[in-house]
Amino acid sequence: MSKNLIVANWKSHKSVDETQQFFSRIAEVKNELQYANTEIVICPSFIGLEIAKRICSEHSLPIKIGSQNVSAYSEGAYTGEVAASQLSQIVKYIIIGHSERRNNFGDTEETIQEKIQQAKNENLSVILCVQGPDTPVYEGVDVIAYEPLSAIGTGNPDTPENVTTVLQTLHERSPQSLLLYGGSVDKNSIHSFLTIELLSGFLVGGASLDPDTFIHLVSACETRNSY
């Protein structure tokens, strides 16, 4: 079985101090995170990226840092935007096409393609969020996260049967991409998805904000390899 991947999407949560507290807690229990088969990516908001990266380096934490967004433009006169070249010193992954960005910030299929291109220019791995089996997927996408709208932040995850069907279609359309599920994944719901063969892991929002809960989810992911 290939490596698992768990991605924490913190959205607009946590100050710099709270980001530091989270990673300091992880550093205290880092032995619990030495999983051979699960890659861990944490995506704080922009203000937390630098301190997150610094603490991970200082404590040799087995965690990669990701960004929740990227500018569709390269470095230059684009007020309020953060370019892929600026992010590339800190992050390895970029989330693109989350439904919250599509619905609230006008990310269109065109801007999504531009963002993917910007990320690939810097050799960053792209996690593309798709809302269903027919959402367009583009060249350069390394990871596809299936996140049905009805499941995001609702406490109402999709059924394992439906996730299996959707992942089959996504796999046929993009056989080289890793496939994740996201939407109300927590300590209870995670177990129902662990046996889905095409699934490589999870994109977790709310349940990734508490360090101990997040570690629990990472451990659950790791048990997949013994199924």
Of all helices (H) and strands (E), which one includes residue 166?
helix 160-173
Minimum distance between the CB of residue 184 and ligand PGA, rounded to whole angstroms? 4
- Is 171 tagged catalytic? no
Please say which residue, 83 or 127, places its beta carbon nearer to ligand PGA. Answer: 127
Of all helices (H) and strands (E), which one includes residue 84?
helix 84-87
Q: Applying CB under 6 A, does 153 fall inside the site for ligand PGA?
A: yes
Minimum distance between the CB of residue 210 and ligand PGA, rounded to whole angstroms? 12
Please say which residue, 179 or 203, places its beta carbon nearer to ligand PGA. Answer: 203
Amino acid at 157: P
Are residues 56 and 43 in contact, defined by beta-carbon separation less than 8 angstroms?
no
The dihedral through the CA atoms of 12, 128, 206, 103 has a sign that is: positive
Q: Applying CB under 6 A, does 182 fall inside the site for ligand PGA?
A: yes
Size of the site for ligand PGA (CB under 6 A): 13
**Which one of 152, 217, 218, 220 is in contact with ligand PGA (CB under 6 A)?**
152
Are residues 7 and 66 in contact, defined by beta-carbon separation less than 8 angstroms?
yes
Spatial distance between the Cα atoms of 111 and 131, rounded to a whole number of angstroms: 17
Minimum distance between the CB of residue 31 and ligand PGA, rounded to whole angstroms? 26
Please say which residue, 40 or 83, places its beta carbon nearer to ligand PGA. Answer: 40
Token pair in block for residue 217: 């989810």
What residues have CB less than 8 Å from 153, skipping those under 6 apart?
A: 184, 205, 206
Spatial distance between the Cα atoms of 215 and 197, rounded to a whole number of angstroms: 23
Q: Applying CB under 6 A, does 203 fall inside the site for ligand PGA?
A: yes
Of 32-40, 53-61, 105-113, 182-190, the window that binds ligand PGA (rule: CB under 6 A) is 182-190
- Is 28 tagged catalytic? no
Binding residues (CB under 6 A) for ligand PGA: these are 9, 147, 152-153, 182-185, 203-207
